[in-house]
Amino acid sequence: MFPGSKRSDPMLITVFIIAILLFAYMAYVLVKPEKF
């Protein structure tokens, strides 16, 4: 809605993607030992 929101969108998307990758990586590391 704000004019400045368009400038911060790429950074927010990048941080959001990084957070998802870190969460998925940690979940994979925590679940992997249980399967084996």
Q: Where are the domains of the chain?
A: 1-36
Q: Which residues of the chain have pLDDT under 50?
A: none
What is the structure's pLDDT at 4? 58
What is the structure's pLDDT at 9? 78
Dist CA 25 CA 31 (whole Å): 10
What is the structure's pLDDT at 15? 94
Amino acid at 7: R
Q: Is the pTM of this model over 0.75?
A: no
What is the structure's pLDDT at 5? 58
What is the structure's pLDDT at 25? 93
How many residues in the chain? 36
What is the structure's pLDDT at 36? 57
